[in-house]
Amino acid sequence: MLRDQFPGLNVTVHGKPLVYLDNAATACRPQRVLDAVQEYYTRFNANIHRGVHTLSEIATERFEGARESMARLINAPSARQLVFTRGSTESINLVANTFARERLSAGDEILISYMEHHSNIVPWQLLCQQTGAVLKVIPMNERGELRLETLDELITERTKMLAVVHVSNSLGTINPVKEIIAKAHAREVPVLVDGAQALPHMAVDVQDLDCDFYTISGHKMYGPTGIGILYGKMEHLEAMPPWQGGGEMIAKVTFERTVFNHVPAKFEAGTPNIAGGIGLGAAAEFIMDVGMDKIQARDAELLAYATEKMQAIDGLRLIGTAACKTAVNSFVIDGVHPHDLGTVLDHYGIAIRTGHHCTMPALQFFKVPGTARASFAFYNTHEEIDYFVDCVQKAREMFT
Ligand code: PMP
């Protein structure tokens, strides 16, 4: 069984077997990822790139091999177009502070959407404050779908960047990013896609999407924490100035001037998260071995099952009911505070997320300060969903 490969699922909480439904916050890791990380620290513990000794060569080979695995997973033309970062947050900040900053003057516009995670809002706001650019927002409807008919008007000759989430972490909406990118490109606007929540659930092909930038969070796609990817088109990466200075990102340094290294080293100053990178490569290989079509099918099936069961609970309102969704169900229940619900469920061994999920504007749109969120992964089971629904019922009766 695939599930047996995830030791993190096999624990008890308050004496109950864990039911882990907080996958959108961070996924569980398969043994293969844990082994890859452990193997690095125990069998070829060394710094990478600069060493001539055997262990350094092995570590470098594994780290660069991981880049290759990730490139295959997202069908990038070359692994050189993948920059290792700490995750989606750092990837977005990198693009905002290099590519976008160079293109912006006062009065220019950056377009994002109503359902963005704070990490795809705040970096752009900071940039606007520093450059005098203006942040504009694509609206959404009451199902949590972007109102794309507004795009033609929202994109103007001042629009210099569009940044949009592929899959919403709080609503579950899968945005039609290929269509958005085509519309933006028709007006010569480059597009960054925040893919943090996409890869754990669906196939991503950056060449088919034709995105200018795509961001990935390792910890959401069954990899380690503190590691992620920024994919970029080569012409952008080559033209972009470096972001952080330090070792590794240089070709030559004198006190007078520095010649920068080639892409992607230009953006990877300092010793990277070597173990994390190697673990991420193992996660990519794991996903490819399981098969994205299998993961996607299981995801759709779990979502349909959970949605039907949850909708039968009295007073429960789903927040985010897009026609195209991943297995994320945010909800509120009349008379029950999400935090209280989360605390009661924890005592039954169930982990869910409660609060604003770092998407305060999206929740303000639905006029709720927070929700409870159950987010599923392919290793979750129908029995777990049944148990979760029973416990939600019990908690509701307790509070109402
Ligand atoms: N965007 C979305 C949609 C997310 O769900 C998250 C993580 N919750 C992020 C960005 C931030 O990603 P990271 O944790 O890799 O910085």
Residue nearest to atom 15 of ligand 1 (CA): 87
Supply the CATH classification number for the domain 32-289. Answer: 3.40.640.10
Q: Is 170 in the pocket of ligand 1 (CB under 6 A)?
A: no
DSSP 227-273: -EEEEE-HHHHHHSPPSS-SSSSEEEE-SS-EEEPPTTGGG--SS--
- Residues 278/361, Cβ–Cβ less than 8 Å: no
Q: Is cis: bond before 264, omega within 30 of 0?
A: yes
**Which of 86, 93, 119 maximizes ligand 1 atoms within 8 Å of its Cβ, making it the mutation to test the pocket?**
119
Q: Is 228 in the pocket of ligand 1 (CB under 6 A)?
A: yes
Whole-number Å distance between alpha carbons of 143 and 172:
11
**Which of 118, 194, 201, 202 maximizes ligand 1 atoms within 8 Å of its Cβ, making it the mutation to test the pocket?**
194
Pick from 366, 377, 380, 320: nearest CA to 174: 320
Q: Tell me the CB-side half-sphere exposure of residue 391, using CA atoms within 13 A.
A: 22
Whole-number Å distance between alpha carbons of 182 and 187:
9
Quote the ligand 1 centre to 56 CA distance (angstroms): 32
**Which of 112, 117, 146, 173 maximizes ligand 1 atoms within 8 Å of its Cβ, making it the mutation to test the pocket?**
117
User: Which residues are paired to 13 by β-bridges?
Assistant: 16
Same CATH fold assignment for domains 2-21+291-399 and 32-289: no
User: Which residues are paired to 252 by β-bridges?
Assistant: 259
Each residue's pLDDT, cut to its tens digit, for the chain (400 residues) gives: 899 999 999 999 999 999 999 999 999 999 999 999 999 999 999 999 988 899 999 999 999 999 999 999 999 999 999 999 999 999 999 999 999 999 999 999 999 999 999 999 999 999 999 999 999 999 999 999 999 999 999 999 999 999 999 999 999 999 999 999 999 999 999 999 999 999 999 999 999 999 999 999 999 999 999 999 999 999 999 999 999 999 889 999 999 999 999 999 999 999 999 999 999 999 999 999 999 999 999 999 999 999 999 999 999 999 999 999 999 999 999 999 999 999 999 999 999 999 999 999 999 999 998 999 999 999 999 999 999 999 999 999 999 8
Whole-number Å distance between alpha carbons of 388 and 348:
9
Q: Is 349 in the pocket of ligand 1 (CB under 6 A)?
A: no
Whole-number Å distance between alpha carbons of 388 and 111:
38
User: Pairing mode, if any, of strands 316-319 and 109-113?
Assistant: unpaired
CATH of 2-21+291-399, one of 3.90.1150.10, 3.40.718.10, 3.40.50.300, 3.60.15.10: 3.90.1150.10
Q: Is 358 a catalytic residue?
A: yes
Whole-number Å distance between alpha carbons of 396 and 400:
6
* Spans of all domains in the chain: 2-21+291-399, 32-289
Q: Is 88 in the pocket of ligand 1 (CB under 6 A)?
A: yes
